Structure formats: structure tokens, C-alpha cells
A and B are shown apart, each in its own frame.
Chain A
Amino acid sequence: MAVALSNELPDENLLALLTQDSERAMELIFRQYYIFVCRSITRILPHGHVAEDLAQDVFHDLWKKRDSLIIKSSLTAYLRRAAVNKTLNFIRDRKIKWDDEPALETTTNAVPNARQYLEAQELRELIDRTIDGLPERCRLVFTLSRFEEMTYQEIANDLGISIKTVENQMSKALRILKAVLAPVLQSS
């Protein structure tokens, strides 16, 4: 199994390899994209363990489809889309409740100290905490827009809500993020 893993291969090579030496290609793809897929999932559904399980399924699906796979865009885009679909399906199947109340009582408490968030790590934590603390539906809409290259219309279609609701949820998310981040952004 000792394959040269340090050099990342471009998507096209990996895809070509997948049709010739599928096992080795699959390992390379897994190692190159696993964290990427996990992060895509956990931005939508912030539970590490679930994210890892769903990511496993994403790669397993790719493996099962390897002979009939047609990727129009890039492997990156394909895996991201697969991750988003898998996660949204999971949310739908489990009927995870969209609570419009904040998940955590955080957002505004963090503001007074915001000026002190100069360290990259602290800023990262502040952002994680703030986005995690958004009401569920609000967070979902925000992360799909920010990270998954989806338009408001696509988000509305995927979640089965109106575009107006998407706009409202986005406004809410941006308002909260603005309140938390303004001191940091203005000081820099």
C-alpha cells in the first residue's frame, strides 16, 4: 500500500487512473479528498462523527459508480456536490428539526471581546462558534451560499423553500455575522 502519496495528482490523471488501476486510484482520491469532503459535510451538518460516516459513503458511491462515471466538471466539484447531496438527503431522511431558535446562546456575547481576536486560531474559533450558533435553517442557507457555490434559487429548490425565505435567512445570518465580525474587520 506504500504509494507515493505526497504528490497530489491532478483530477484528470486520477480519473484516468480510476478506469485502469481502480484500487490505487481510489486510495489516492480518498487520501487527497477525504478531508475536503468531510469539511464540506460538516459545514452543513456540524457533527464530526456523522460527517465522517457520510464522507465514507460519498467515496463508496464513487467506487460503485467508477465504471459508468461521467464527470463533466472537475472531480473536486463532483465530490463537493456529492457531499452536499448526501448531507441534505441525510437531513431530509432523518427529519432533522429545523429549529429557528439559536442552537447556542453565543452570538452576541462574543462581541465585546471581538477586538482581541487577533490570532488566527482565535478568529477561526470565533467564526466556528458564530456560524454553529446560528439557527439551524439560517445556518444551512448561509453555508450553502457561502461554501457550496449555490445560487439562492438553487438553495430554495434544494431545500424546498421559497427564494424569499432564502433571502430572509441570509439577511439574518449576515446581520449576526456583521455584528460579531465588524470590530475585527474594522480593526484590520
Chain B
Amino acid sequence: MTSKEKKGLEQWVDFHSGSAEESKMMKGIWEATGVYKSSFQPDVNKEFSRYKAKTGHSGAVIASMKPWLILLKVAAAAAILVFAVLLYKYSLDASGKMDNITAGKGVSKSFLLSDGSSVSINENTRLHFPANFSGADRRVQLTGEAFFQVTKDATHPFVVETPQAEIQVLGTSFNVREYPNEGVTEVFVKTGKVAVTKKTTGERHFLLAGDKLTIETATNAAIISKDNRGNSLAWKNGRLVFDEKPIDEILKSVERLYHVHFEFESKTLHNCLLNITFDASHMNDALKSFEVACPGIRIRPSGRGGYTVVGKCCE
């Protein structure tokens, strides 16, 4: 017990006990409660990464400022301030500065990272990344949806972190989608190999080209399916391709792309199988392609982003 702790216990005894037995009890409570919250065990490695990402730590350059500061101390006070601020800003730019790129509603953006990897982000998406990658891995943080083409560098793994998952790759192209309101994490691999770790369970999934992984946030249920046509990239390529797929499934892709909703007038209609390729960059074109592929149907707006599908297709 440290001397301060002794004082703390003395206080308990002075204020709250009247007998030797009660004093003994105070000592017992003091000792027993020492374990309070001792089972709280945060993940220090993970938290340190988060700390680094937040503060833009990079050390060498910032540390080398010190001799400068000492020199400057002899210079005029006003000049010191201005210069030091500029120098500090410059050193941050040159080293551990973090960048944010955000795309709002209806906008997507493409850009290069400092290692030459390219990223396209979909609407309502934010990517947080170091202006210059340093350290053991190339780590970026994503909320929303993005497609990555990562340059090969076996010694510095590329890691995409989302609130729910960590996606680790060496050099490949892949798509990650995790919007906060959708309750799922989706990873689609176009080329190469990817490892996805669900943060809450630590469960790891390995994906190859053409694989699409879907993890439900609430249940942790994980499904790996095939997406050989790359429809997961429709938001970026503006093209959806379906071979012998039910209209139901096809329209779901359209719903997801344009945030609309389809209802079927006939209950049998949505099972019809279609072969269809359509330009998905404009929704009206997409809907026209439907009507062409299936001349019996009409798609009518029903207000509030809703559409009703009427008519017959395969019956």
C-alpha cells in the first residue's frame, strides 16, 4: 500500500467505523475492492493504431524540429511564433498528416494514394488515410463503399478498416461496402486474394477473385457467394449483367443502386428468369432496358421513390 492509499484507508476508518471490528472490515473492503474493473482489458495494439491514425503520428520529422526551436529562441519573439507555426505545419504535411476524402449524395470520386494504389469512392462515403504511408502497414479507414486497386508491396500489407471489419490484402483489386444504415458488410474481390476479419468476433474469411462476402452486423452471419459478372461494381462501371436471373434479384440490384423500391403487381412475375445487360448509369435507361427485354411489362412510378411493375413477362 502506498502512503497515499494508507491515508485513504485511514479516512474511511476515521469517518465510518466505531470499533476495531469495523476498522478491520474497512480494511477488508479496501483490499477486496482493489480488483474493481481489473478485468477491463482493452486491445492496446488496436487502440495504438487508432491513436496513430487520429494524431497523425510520425515522429522523425516532428522530433527534428527541436534544434530549430532552440535556435529560434534567440530570434525575435514575433518571428519565432510565425516561423515555428509554419515549420510545424510544413513538417506535418511532409509526414504523418491524415487526409480525408468525402463524397456526398450522388457523387463518386477517384484518386490515388501515396503508394500508387487507386481508390474510387461511392456516394455518401468517407475515406480517412495517411497523406504518406509510413509504418508497418498501409492502413485506411472507410465508411461507405469503395473500390480499391492496390499496388503490390508484400512487406507492407494494405488494410481497409471499417467500423465492423478489417480487410487485409497484399496487392489486388476489391470492393468494400459498409454503410452504417444497411447493417451489413460486403466485400467483393475482383482480382487476387483478400482476408476479411470481423472485428466483434475475430472471425476470418479468405476470399478469391469473384467471391463476394456478406456479413450481417447484428448476427455475424457470413455468406460467401459468387459474383463472376462483377455486379458489385455497378456503381462504378455503370453496367449490370445478369444470366438467367429472376427479375426479383435483378431489380434488387437496381433498388440498391438508385435507392428506389419496386413492387410487383402480380405475385408470379418476380420469378421470371431474364438474360439482361444494361447500362446502369441512368435509372431511366435501366428501366427501359427492362421493358425491352420483357415486352409485356411496364414500370410505373408510384411516388416517393417507389415503382410498380405491371404486366406479364414469362407466363
Contact = CB atoms under 8 A, between A and B. Distances in A.
Give the interface residue-count category, chain B: 35 or more
B219 interface: no
A38 interface: yes
A102 B26 CA distance: 22
Interface stretch (A7-15, A87-95, A104-112, A171-179): A171-179
Nearest to B35: A124
B35 A21 contact: no
Given A23-B57, A35-B41, A39-B38, A185 B11 contact: no
B41 to A, nearest CB: 7
B16 A23 contact: no
Given A30-B51, A181-B29, A39 B59 contact: no
B277 to A, nearest CB: 46
Nearest to A121: B39
Interface residues of A, number: 54
Given A23-B57, A30-B51, A43-B36, A149 B63 contact: no
Contacts of A52: 42, 47
B39 A184 contact: no
A26 B63 CA distance: 11
A89 to B, nearest CB: 19
Interface of B: 2, 4-5, 7-8, 11-12, 15-16, 25-26, 28-30, 32-33, 35-42, 44, 47-48, 50-51, 54-55, 57-60, 62-63, 66, 69, 135-136
Interface of A: 1-2, 19-24, 26-27, 30-31, 34-35, 38-39, 42-43, 46, 48, 51-52, 55-56, 59-60, 63, 67, 120-121, 123-125, 127-128, 131, 143, 145-147, 149-152, 167, 170-171, 174, 177-178, 181-182, 184-185
